[in-house]
Amino acid sequence: MPLKTIFTDRTRSIIEHQRGKYVCPLLFPKPSGQTCPKNHKNWPKGCIADMPLSIGARLRYTLDRDGESYKSIYKQRTAVERINSQATALGIERPYLRNGGAIANQNTLIYILINLRMLQRIRKFQSEPAIS
């Protein structure tokens, strides 16, 4: 999408930052007469997108979310989040112990418990008869 204008955004966050107004290439710099191939809902008004111009913010919009590497990393991330959720539910976040060694032992036991639960689910799944 072509960049139409640049402006300083002072409203959406505490920190002022540069944002760009991107417009549909079929309408800017001059209308081509073609219709939107994606049947975008904003086509009658003109497709416009405001996006931050910093490199980190732009990266979020340019990621190939259908690529294999992205999907692989996403699966790993969600697995870690599930484990963290289980650990939090088991009390790893705010231990009631005062000794660092005791906390380390408790955390080790909690992660062993999480792994045993996973192993139990795998064995249960493998022992279930296939539905035909």
Q: Is residue 107 part of a domain?
A: yes
Question: Count of domains in the chain?
Answer: 2
Instruction: Please tell me the distance from the alpha carbon of residue 72 to that of residue 64, in angstroms, as a whole number.
Output: 12
Q: Is residue 132 part of a domain?
A: no
CB 6 within 8 A of CB 20: yes
Instruction: Please tell me the distance from the alpha carbon of residue 58 to that of residue 44, in angstroms, as a whole number.
Output: 26
Per the structure, the complete domain to which residue 114 belongs is given by: 68-127
Instruction: Please tell me the distance from the alpha carbon of residue 43 to that of residue 39, in angstroms, as a whole number.
Output: 7
Would you give per-residue pLDDT tens digits along the chain (132 residues)?
778 888 888 876 777 888 888 888 887 777 777 777 777 777 777 777 788 888 877 787 788 889 999 999 999 999 989 988 988 888 888 878 889 999 899 989 999 999 999 999 999 988 887 676
